[in-house]
Structure 1
């Protein structure tokens, strides 16, 4: 790069290639936009307006005013960014960025770019014409006061909100619907002729007949009246429609499955290995209805032989069939409390494909030879016909092989040697899992117990015993073998990938740990083993729960992709989903690829290529998120309903999240989460420290930190917004004044008011996703 002195000379003598255009348009022409961009690009650093004017020898008042207006216009168009130091730097305005819109209840939004770059802020003004989940192209218009790139809409690529579910209101001659999904900030207007018999206050389904614009609210038509808000099961009906979950079977599919019988036809059993004599068993939860995996282990001279038999869904669901089209559309079964929306019709999910006891079933088997140290030394796949010898539950298996329950042991005497083999093998494999550093966070799952009229009786913790861990370990091993097999065959395949922590999250995590005197090994590329070593070292600390939570939140989300990036959480180089084809479409795709290889067909003749897998991976990942969001909405609603008669009651709880507007508390006895708003903390002026996950008072030294134990009172439950508000009863711990002064607050988030002012909660009752089902890895 040339010196600034040389640059000064170059630009004062350089002829503007667009000078004639500028002279034709303006009485007092100034350098063109192109020349201004070239100036900043060659300088290689941001410039003040005065510096730009000096480079072009602009001195008169008219010239300086024209330059100011041009720079502002370039800023609006995203060609330039005006940074916090009041300098102009090159923007991305000449580029468009495609991505998905993420709405926020407060009216603004974010763009999640397709290229994986950082999210862009979308102002409430720009969100007027957009809805949550729309796909758009935007340009960068500048940097907001919090240092975020701000987006301006360039083009709407795809509208993804075609219907909304919400409460119908009729006020005079104006009818409108307030969506239940708070990420949709628009009220949908309803014309008189499109009310469809809805009455004030009812829950309705509305078809969007005209999307929102910058000047007009969206218009809709009532297509279904669901009924009253508090009707039993209404929360599930709302979630299904709000998230547009497919929940009815197309006529073409019903016609296709009409000829299926409950029994496997004899012709389908031919040319398969017969393993019906092997005592394979299924081990699942008490409330499981579809059984897609069965296991068997036998001792060998050098270790064990493990068979993981998986329902052969690919035999029944042919590529391009109506069954396949619907399974792909759904991508996953959705599990609500006491209700399931299956990926496949019941005759398959609970019948022909389910490995029910004492009936013949088609299966795909992963056979693994494992040595005494628990290391897989060889694996193979084959098609078979099997017969499950028992339907066992996690609870009963643990009582037999761990606790030695005599009554159950006697009842299953014929199976006990095989169950003991399974348990002995698991213990060896568990040791290998710990050696490689696979994540095993101690998270708490819960289950909602219903009484009469679907009223919640209690929320109970799910106890995870060694039988859960045994099945999980065997499924992980089979999934890993499937990924390695398809990698060896160079097949187009869909993998389950999980990236390690990103640079920014890792820096935040290390800063947090440093304040506690802790160190995460691995430098800039920590391994899973580094995480587990740290967790092991803090087990006896009082803040162990806090440290585990922060470690867990530094992780990214697992997704489906054909790119082999490995699975960080499981410390595996390659991983696929093979073991649940009844409820997950990616598993079905893996089965098809394996069957293609077993038939000794060429890679080129496979029905899918790499690009197909990219598209399918994105589709399945999005539908997995959709299912999780729908389930979370239902659980939040039910928990709010459960708390409605507990207003005024006091509970002990743990701070589960800290934000700039307060902190969330999970009640220890009933596992419900609510918000203590910062406006209710009267005694001080609180700053939010995002790095150390705490609010701290400037005057008193009081701090509220993630993992702290507090006592709260339930003061408000809002069923419509799925919010619960608590009031703090027990004062938090105090810290020394000097320690607080050293901390640098996150100015971007805001502070508590100095005076007590009424303020509404701004986050849902459960602000963060609960841990997913343990076998969803």
Structure 2
């Protein structure tokens, strides 16, 4: 829809759609049609144009209507429940919504505006750890860089049971201080001798804040002594407790696991022990739950075809519905992997022994045999409950070296008969993958290598081998086969779904790419191929990593659901997790569903499971996000401890995130994440350019953009919280000064001679 300008006699042009969207985003409490018209001085006949513009934005999914109020999709509601998570050095409290969709990024920071006075004397005076019902309102002037919106407390709610966690540091006189373990709360707490709860120096504790004045350190009492952090695995224990991850198996669960007996051939299973299946895993893997095999298809009707087999440990045989093992597995949801330990979903008797496909040992499995044509398209598949015997336990590097002409004593005897046909089969499947065009992001992951004492030795980027891709594609095809079979049998199951990007995320990506002269069509069917074309155009360009990062951020988060919407990233219509029942409860559900649907035993899905699948899917999706959070936190703490003696050192880094408050940077060598406050960037006024993911100097035009390479100096480390603070010591890129603010109004004027400008991020308060 074309936009018309106002008559030349009017002072302001008709607002652009971008300006309207920004106003709605930044004024959650004042975004009715009347408010917007007043803000942009829209009068008379132009109100009709504004109404049409708002209707167009609503139809495109960029805004939504709640009664008369307009907001961005998923925006903050007028009234919400939030938790007070931190207090800054000047005494202001900040909160976050209790519930927040992680697909929309980090929870917004909310300034708590409460009347002054003593708590409990009429006014609502929250403290750290309190939950409150509050009304969202606009921020006071000067706070734009440190919070997204403000919230006025309506009433205090019951305090969150888990409280705050920290490490107790004893002081002379019997009391102590508590160092928080959260990046959101770096200020210490004071504990007097009467409230230590028996905590000793170095203990991880849960605490309650019982007195918090406006100035000085808040006072707390130890509510629970969790345990000592003096062991070499202390860092991961912080994340385990902070994220409430179950890590101790109840006695009933251990008893069931120890009582389990190995499966013997009894005529109920197909005997596949002569099929030369092999396991290919990381060199330090302790459990092996998948094995593979491939040979050319000898059927004359399928020239150039291949028969691929994937066998998965038969966990369903040992974990029966309703048992203690089953209940604990559902509670955990998945295994959690830290650099120094693994918190398994199942006890080691099951995961590392009875269900591990050990070399030359009989093991029960659920196998799928798939037939592909010469173009990598699957023609048919069948599932079987078998007894197998792995002929070799190989590492990825070992298998790759063998097919590359460097076999060792183990791989040399099976190179021609097993490994070469297996890799040849992968080349056939690869043709189908390439034709399908899943999303191909190039974002290598780093791995932390630890010393024997549990501290960081080095950070490496593992090489991505063809052997990795082989196992990945074989597993994907097995997962597809499982979903197709269960859907055809009309069996309940849990899909692995991945929605396409939301309209709001896509619009933000479109604006960003436009700043790089790249375009995504506004119309037509959205597929991963659209993103792949963009990524291919920048493959060898300096900004390739930047574009990959922004495309990744535009994607939705994968999850589990009994309702199928397909998997956008893999470009698959049907997809379910089948290949890792040792470490994912979702896969165990699929195994049981296959057993029941194909009449492969009496240990299938229990009756009435359909009514509970939606809740189960939500629970295991939450457990997955919990595990990812804990793993990230542990890596951050390990890296922070490693760098704690390098204050003042200068590092090469890449800008990995941009907000009004500052820049998130990632160190090039280690992948460590840190923050650069906007207040340290210089004397200019740096405005947040959302479309470009950049902070831009209003006067100089100096620009710091997502993906830029910069030099940073480490100025502060909080090892227990995993927090690093940096200052940028290199210059930003040259850019055009911002002469107008985001709403079309004139930006603050440049600094006059002799005038000291308040740096971005420093707050001006009304006392």
Q: Retained in 2: the 8 A contact 1:140–1:152?
A: yes
Correspondence 1:333 to 2:335: yes
Query: For the residues of structure 1 that align with 2:615 and 2:724, how far apart are their CA atoms?
Result: 39
* Gaps in structure 2 of 5+ consecutive residues: 1-31, 39-65, 89-93, 115-123, 213-217
TM-aligned CA deviation for residue 186 of structure 1: 10
Name 1:367's counterpart in structure 2.
Answer: 369
Aligned partner (choices 109, 125, 128) of residue 126 of structure 2: 128
* Gaps in structure 1 of 5+ consecutive residues: 1-43, 51-78, 85-90, 762-777
Query: For the residues of structure 2 that align with 1:751 and 1:255, how far apart are their CA atoms?
Result: 73
Name 2:269's counterpart in structure 1.
Answer: 272
Q: 1:209-233 CA distances to partner (integer Å, 9 max, x unpaired)?
A: 9999xxx9986523334145xx532
TM-aligned CA deviation for residue 549 of structure 1: 1.0
TM-aligned CA deviation for residue 304 of structure 1: 1.1
Alpha-carbon distance change, 688 to 429 in structure 1, aligned in 2, over 3 angstroms:
same
Q: Retained in 1: the 8 A contact 2:371–2:380?
A: yes
Query: For the residues of structure 2 that align with 1:454 and 1:327, how far apart are their CA atoms?
Result: 28
Name 2:387's counterpart in structure 1.
Answer: 385
Query: For the residues of structure 2 that align with 1:653 and 1:732, how far apart are their CA atoms?
Result: 13
Q: 1:136-156 CA distances to partner (integer Å, 9 max, x unpaired)?
A: 9x6865566788696867896
Q: Retained in 1: the 8 A contact 2:199–2:205?
A: no
Alpha-carbon distance change, 408 to 47 in structure 1, aligned in 2, over 3 angstroms:
closer
Query: For the residues of structure 2 that align with 1:219 and 1:168, how far apart are their CA atoms?
Result: 13
Q: 1:56-75 CA distances to partner (integer Å, 9 max, x unpaired)?
A: xxxxxxxxxxxxxxxxxxxx
Q: Retained in 2: the 8 A contact 1:190–1:221?
A: no
TM-aligned CA deviation for residue 130 of structure 1: 8.3
Q: Which structure 2 residues correspond to residues 158-169 of structure 1 after superposition, within 5 A?
A: 159=160, 161=162, 164-167=165-168
Q: Which structure 2 residues correspond to residues 192-203 of structure 1 after superposition, within 5 A?
A: 195-199=196-200, 202-203=202-203
Q: Which structure 2 residues correspond to residues 271-420 of structure 1 after superposition, within 5 A?
A: 271-300=268-297, 301=299, 302=302, 303-401=305-403, 403-405=404-406, 407-408=407-408, 411-420=411-420
SS of residue in 1 equivalent to 2:626: helix
Name 1:60's counterpart in structure 2.
Answer: none
Name 1:72's counterpart in structure 2.
Answer: none
Q: Retained in 1: the 8 A contact 2:174–2:192?
A: no
**Bigger relative CO (Cα 8 Å, ≥ 6 apart):** 2
Q: Retained in 2: the 8 A contact 1:679–1:752?
A: no
Query: For the residues of structure 1 that align with 2:469 and 2:560, how far apart are their CA atoms?
Result: 24
Q: 1:628-661 CA distances to partner (integer Å, 9 max, x unpaired)?
A: 1111111101101111222233222222222222
RMSD: 4.1
TM-aligned CA deviation for residue 383 of structure 1: 0.7
Query: For the residues of structure 1 that align with 2:180 and 2:748, how far apart are their CA atoms?
Result: 28
Q: Retained in 2: the 8 A contact 1:498–1:567?
A: yes
Name 2:687's counterpart in structure 1.
Answer: 687
Alpha-carbon distance change, 194 to 273 in structure 1, aligned in 2, over 3 angstroms:
farther
Alpha-carbon distance change, 102 to 730 in structure 1, aligned in 2, over 3 angstroms:
same
TM-score, normalised on structure 1?
0.76
Query: For the residues of structure 1 that align with 2:430 and 2:320, how far apart are their CA atoms?
Result: 37
Alpha-carbon distance change, 297 to 47 in structure 1, aligned in 2, over 3 angstroms:
closer
SS of residue in 1 equivalent to 2:581: coil
Q: Which structure 2 residues correspond to residues 197-236 of structure 1 after superposition, within 5 A?
A: 197-199=198-200, 202-206=202-206, 220-227=222-229, 232-236=232-236
SS of residue in 2 equivalent to 1:112: coil
Name 1:708's counterpart in structure 2.
Answer: 708
TM-aligned CA deviation for residue 440 of structure 1: 2.1
Q: Which structure 2 residues correspond to residues 69-218 of structure 1 after superposition, within 5 A?
A: 107-112=94-99, 124=112, 128=126, 131=129, 159=160, 161=162, 164-167=165-168, 177=178, 179-183=180-184, 195-199=196-200, 202-206=202-206
TM-score, normalised on structure 2?
0.77
TM-aligned CA deviation for residue 324 of structure 1: 0.8
Correspondence 1:551 to 2:573: no
Query: For the residues of structure 1 that align with 2:190 and 2:320, how far apart are their CA atoms?
Result: 44
Q: Retained in 2: the 8 A contact 1:654–1:709?
A: yes
Name 1:590's counterpart in structure 2.
Answer: 590
Q: Retained in 1: the 8 A contact 2:280–2:396?
A: yes
Query: For the residues of structure 2 that align with 1:408 and 1:415, how far apart are their CA atoms?
Result: 10
Correspondence 1:560 to 2:560: yes
Name 1:656's counterpart in structure 2.
Answer: 656
Alpha-carbon distance change, 467 to 276 in structure 1, aligned in 2, over 3 angstroms:
same
Alpha-carbon distance change, 600 to 682 in structure 1, aligned in 2, over 3 angstroms:
closer
Alpha-carbon distance change, 165 to 741 in structure 1, aligned in 2, over 3 angstroms:
same
Correspondence 1:240 to 2:237: no
Alpha-carbon distance change, 376 to 130 in structure 1, aligned in 2, over 3 angstroms:
farther
SS of residue in 2 equivalent to 1:453: coil
Alpha-carbon distance change, 110 to 367 in structure 1, aligned in 2, over 3 angstroms:
same
**Larger helix fraction of residues:** 1
Alpha-carbon distance change, 604 to 647 in structure 1, aligned in 2, over 3 angstroms:
closer
TM-aligned CA deviation for residue 504 of structure 1: 0.9
Query: For the residues of structure 1 that align with 2:474 and 2:587, how far apart are their CA atoms?
Result: 16
Q: Which structure 2 residues correspond to residues 502-581 of structure 1 after superposition, within 5 A?
A: 502-521=502-521, 523=523, 526-581=526-581
Name 1:5's counterpart in structure 2.
Answer: none
Alpha-carbon distance change, 751 to 509 in structure 1, aligned in 2, over 3 angstroms:
farther
SS of residue in 2 equivalent to 1:564: coil
TM-aligned CA deviation for residue 707 of structure 1: 1.6
Query: For the residues of structure 1 that align with 2:399 and 2:103, how far apart are their CA atoms?
Result: 44
Query: For the residues of structure 1 that align with 2:477 and 2:204, how far apart are their CA atoms?
Result: 47
Q: Bigger CA drift: 721-730 or 568-577?
A: 721-730
Alpha-carbon distance change, 223 to 296 in structure 1, aligned in 2, over 3 angstroms:
same
